[in-house]
Chain A
């Protein structure tokens, strides 16, 4: 199975930068996803990494190091609407069977 760890909570100020780390242990790694989830709502896709390096998408960037089993999500120029839970998910491939395993999520609170 997978062991996916991410911090429980983070707080930052509007306009600042926050980095959410995610570490994982898995065999058959086949990609890492970041989702954003506002309270009581469905998760929405933010980013996908399968190769080492940085993927940038507007104010959000995601980094992956497969050798270290490590990823981070970087949120820049924080806005109040960025207050949400951020979920790290790892896709594992075994016997042609693709499944996602999710971390517990990091709740980010943006203060004015």
Chain B
């Protein structure tokens, strides 16, 4: 089945540690996105990539880093510089960033920093 996978679903880390969240898609989509969701707030864009080996900062990129070495994969690293990393992280993809296509979301990873 085609889709977007994120792993793990729940992740716990100690404060000060970097952690990498995985996102894989087999939909052959060009564009991929990372969002953060906090209670009572909308999804906020962290980073996005419209093509392999290229990515741009979203609205809240500070304390995060990404890579896009393969079309299928867009991992997100939450660094120790992120002041409030505990949140629900959602990865999404779309066929092309510039087309009238909806974004398809993965199941999300809930990160808790202790």
Could you tell me which A residues sit within 8 Å of B by CB distance? 1, 4, 8, 31, 33, 40-45, 48, 50, 87, 89, 96-105
Contacts and interface: CB of A to CB of B under 8 A. Distances in A.
A48 B42 CA distance: 18
Nearest to B107: A42
Contact of B105 (A8, A44, A98, A103): A44
Main secondary structure of the interface of B (DSSP, over half): loop
B42 A33 contact: no
Interface stretch (B62-70, B73-81, B95-103): B95-103
A19 to B, nearest CB: 20
A105 B43 CA distance: 9
A21 B97 CA distance: 26
Contacts of A98: 97-98
B43 A102 contact: yes
Given A42-B107, A99-B48, A48 B58 contact: no
A101 B104 CA distance: 15
A111 to B, nearest CB: 22
20 contacts: A8-B40, A33-B103, A41-B108, A42-B90, A42-B105, A42-B106, A42-B107, A43-B43, A45-B102, A50-B100, A87-B42, A87-B43, A96-B98, A98-B97, A100-B103, A101-B42, A101-B45, A102-B44, A103-B42, A105-B42
